[in-house]
């Protein structure tokens, strides 16, 4: 058999493929990860061919037996790749012919690698998204656990990286828990768009044989099937969506990591990372570097790089299938692997760190209660804009006298506004400050408890099988 005739497409070619093109064109080194999904699709397609009277029952059974043998070879790592194997589809079909002979040549009837590869990738991604769902839920569960157990710890809240208002440590934790909860919800929505069968679309025009695509979709556990063959073979929106989902989730992880890097520094000292998630310096023996957290930040860039790169692949393509789309798999596989690692790493980092209640509380300062002065005046009947202006005058007077705003005597406060009374001393309690935020989403104890109840209820609901 000549080199050209051994290829699925080699019949009309008389010259050998350029060696460099052969190298670049080959995708088996990475798409062999879809070996089982490719066999799964072929097994179902053989049944569809038999139902359409394009295979005899004996031929279908021979194909199924051969596919089962190939599956075992991949599992045992005994499958022998040959030079003419361009991709996983070619390799499996070539091996099937070696095992069962002529019936193998009928398996591709009406099928193209265009719809085959699209289907394989959907099957592969669909079967693994549940793992990412699980790891994200574990992370949220850990955040809820800590929020419940450490709800009494107060700390500064920050805007513009400047001390803003007192908040609960739990409130900070839950701010990320809600981000990850939405990431899980978004993943479930993406799952539905992945779970659409494109098999049966052929190369572009559809399948000319009486293949029951509805039954084929049911056989492969797809909940829907593509309505247009041209759209189906060129569609990689589900890949782009997955890469964007991963990028956004990785950004949330990166922001969490940045906060914890700051909080674990000696300047903050709010948390201490476990030794198992830090490394040392090759020169400075005293160092405990937050390399685990820094890796989380760095991986976000890697993942987003795949997203932007693949979007540029899609940007200039004409309709239907083009070989550029082969770039979908490396981006998808590496992104999935990276997300699987970083989600588990984050949960380990978070569950093992220690929060220092004393350092958190000692970082609170009276100037963070300046807004509470305005709120005090509002409760006395002063319009907020005027109250804000008067609170600013209190801050300015304290700075002028080089003293804390809480140390200004009542007489000084009354010179700014006669509304200040003896009860103004209640402003200077941090616990009172956080407890005033009773509305939904606030940092009061009741709000924290309500948030954890809602998240615990949500954790019981499975949206991805």
4 part of a folded domain: no
283 and 411 both lie in a single domain: no
Of 160, 276, 282, 439, which is the active-site residue? 160
Q: Which one of 324, 342, 362 terminates a domain?
A: 362
- Same domain, yes or no, for 121 and 256? yes
User: In this structure, what CATH number is given to the domain that contains residue 180?
Assistant: 1.20.200.10
pLDDT of residue 61: 98
Domain boundary among 334, 362, 390: 362
CATH at 32: 1.10.275.10
Give a yes or no: residue 242 inside a domain.
yes
Residue 305 included in any domain? yes
Tokens for 339?
């997300």
Section 196-222 average pLDDT: 97
Residue 253 located in a structural domain: yes
Query: What is the helix (H) or strand (E) element at residue 9, kind and residue range?
Result: none
* 235 and 86, same domain (yes or no): no
**Do 195 and 321 sit in the same domain of this protein?**
yes
Q: What is the pLDDT of residues 287-300, one digit of tens each?
A: 888 999 999 999 99
What are the contacts of 459-462 at 24+ separation with CB within 8 A? 459/137, 459/140, 459/141, 459/144
* Global pTM value: 0.92
The residue from 5, 127, 265, 281 that is catalytic is 281
What residue numbers bound the domain in which 39 lies? 10-106
The reply to whether 242 and 175 lie within a common domain is: yes
The confidence score (pLDDT) of residue 11 equals 54
Q: 400-424: per-residue pLDDT in tens? A: 999 999 999 999 999 999 999 999 9
Q: Is 228 exposed, middle or buried (0-12, 13-18, 19+ CB in 10 A)?
A: exposed
- The residue from 333, 362, 391 where one domain ends is 362
Q: How far apart, in whole angstroms, are the C-alpha atoms of residue 201 and residue 317?
A: 19
- Residue 2 counted as domain residue: no
Looking at the fold, whether 190 and 321 belong to one and the same domain comes out as yes
Domains of the chain: total: 3
Q: Are residues 356 and 402 in the same domain?
A: no
Q: Is residue 1 part of a domain?
A: no
Describe the chain by its helix, strand, coil percentages, rounded to 5: 65, 5, 30
Residue 281 among the catalytic residues: yes
Convert the pLDDT of each residue in 54-91 to its tens digit: 999 999 999 999 999 999 999 999 999 998 899 999 99
Domain of 454, CATH number, reads 1.10.40.30
The answer to whether residue 112 is catalytic is no
For residues 223 and 329, state if they share a domain.
Answer: yes
Same-domain status, 228 and 301: yes
Q: Do 358 and 370 belong to one domain? A: no
Beta-sheet pairing, 354-355 with 271-272: antiparallel
Shared domain for 22 and 80, answered yes or no, is yes
């Amino acid at each position: 058999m000549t080199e050209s005739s051994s290829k699925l497409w080699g019949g009309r070619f008389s010259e050998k493929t350029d060696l460099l093109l052969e190298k670049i064109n080959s995708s088996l080194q990475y798409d062999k990860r879809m070996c089982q999904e490719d066999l799964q699709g072929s097994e179902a397609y053989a049944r569809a061919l038999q139902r359409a009277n394009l295979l005899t029952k004996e031929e279908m059974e021979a194909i199924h037996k051969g596919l089962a043998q190939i599956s075992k070879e991949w599992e045992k790592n005994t499958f022998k790749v040959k030079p003419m194997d361009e991709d996983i589809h070619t390799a499996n079909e070539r091996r099937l012919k070696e095992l069962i002979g002529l019936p193998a040549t009928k398996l591709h009837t009406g099928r193209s690698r265009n719809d085959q590869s699209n289907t394989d990738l959907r099957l592969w991604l669909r079967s693994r998204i549940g793992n990412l769902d699980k790891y994200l839920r574990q992370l949220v569960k850990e955040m809820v656990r800590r929020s419940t157990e450490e709800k009494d710890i107060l700390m500064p809240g920050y805007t513009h990286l400047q001390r803003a208002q007192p908040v609960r440590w739990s409130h900070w934790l839950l701010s990320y828990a809600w981000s990850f909860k939405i990431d899980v919800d978004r993943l479930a929505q993406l799952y539905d768009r992945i779970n659409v069968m494109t098999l049966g679309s052929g190369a572009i025009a559809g399948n000319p044989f009486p293949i029951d695509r509805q039954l084929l979709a049911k056989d492969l556990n797809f909940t829907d099937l593509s309505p247009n063959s041209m759209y189906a073979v060129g569609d990689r929106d589900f890949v782009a969506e997955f890469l964007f989902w991963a990028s956004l989730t990785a950004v949330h992880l990166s922001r969490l990591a940045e906060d914890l890097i700051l909080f674990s520094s000696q300047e903050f000292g709010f948390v201490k990372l476990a030794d198992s998630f830090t490394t040392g310096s090759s020169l400075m023996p005293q160092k405990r570097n937050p390399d685990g957290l820094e890796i989380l930040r760095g991986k976000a860039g890697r993942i987003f790089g795949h997203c932007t790169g693949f979007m540029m692949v899609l940007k200039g393509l004409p309709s239907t299938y083009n070989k550029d789309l082969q770039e979908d798999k490396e981006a998808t596989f590496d992104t999935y692997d990276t997300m699987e690692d970083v989600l588990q790493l984050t949960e380990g980092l978070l569950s093992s760190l220690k929060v220092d209640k004393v350092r958190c509380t000692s970082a609170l300062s009276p100037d963070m209660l300046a807004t509470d002065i305005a709120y005090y005046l509002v409760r006395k009947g002063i319009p907020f804009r005027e109250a804000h202006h008067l609170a600013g005058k209190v801050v300015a007077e304290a700075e002028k006298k080089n003293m804390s705003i809480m140390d200004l005597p009542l007489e000084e406060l009354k010179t700014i506004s006669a509304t200040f009374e003896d009860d103004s001393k209640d402003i200077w309690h941090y616990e009172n400050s956080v407890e005033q935020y009773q509305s939904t989403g606030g940092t009061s104890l009741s709000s924290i408890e309500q948030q954890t109840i809602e998240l615990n209820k949500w954790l019981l609901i499975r949206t991805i099988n």
